[in-house]
Chains A and B, each alone.
Chain A
């Protein structure tokens, strides 16, 4: 898919049975769902994987119930949150929603993840090579050497490229209009 589709366009294509659009939807929200499970609710291993798969299974099954195609992002967030709580309860652990301090912390984490998803969307709009360099360094925690080897760039230039790419991403985010942009993750 060459052009970056908005969330609503992506949902419409998925609903029409477009396989490539479904792949893109999973790709776009996979990090977000994963982060809510692992960072928000501290699920690990199979528990996190179960919730992750269940979220996408329900999204696939109930996509036609979505009232507004633009609302896919909050819907996925809410669905993930609910399934994480169910998982914690089913395994006899206390869900964060039961302790006030933890609720506040969870809300802050989820808010940050929402901001992070917006930044990811900006990163996709900036495109490669910045997207790949920043993703490798910040999200995959790769060293300058590993990035340099992978992208066939001198390792000594990676730090300055990261700095330039961050500035480019910052400019992109500042100029980004709200509402119609994709929530790519």
Chain B
């Protein structure tokens, strides 16, 4: 970026409004959610009945474990179970 007149600075500041708080919080809590996901997958690998229950309804399984079933978490769980 070259040239910094105050009108242009104001215009550029307006281009970056904050996303909803909840979106930021969910992204920040991702490492913790992934750790919880790891535990869930490990349990599914050890327990066939539990695995069948998880595979039958991924969202419900996540909710039962206290994990918010956001699309990215559900997708990650699907990939983990498929590769496990």
Contacts and interface: CB of A to CB of B under 8 A. Distances in A.
Interface of A: 17, 19, 22-23, 26-27, 30-35, 39, 49-50, 52-54, 56-57, 60, 112-120, 123, 134-135, 138-141, 163, 166-167, 169-170, 173-174, 185
A111 to B, nearest CB: 9
26 contacts: A22-B31, A26-B24, A27-B28, A30-B19, A32-B16, A33-B19, A34-B23, A35-B15, A53-B26, A53-B70, A54-B72, A57-B30, A57-B72, A114-B1, A115-B1, A119-B9, A134-B13, A138-B10, A139-B13, A140-B17, A140-B18, A141-B17, A166-B6, A170-B4, A173-B9, A185-B16
Contacts, number: 105
A88 B72 CA distance: 17
Contacts of A27: 24, 28
Given A53-B71, A174-B4, A31 B17 contact: yes
B76 interface: yes
Interface residues of B, number: 29
B49 interface: no
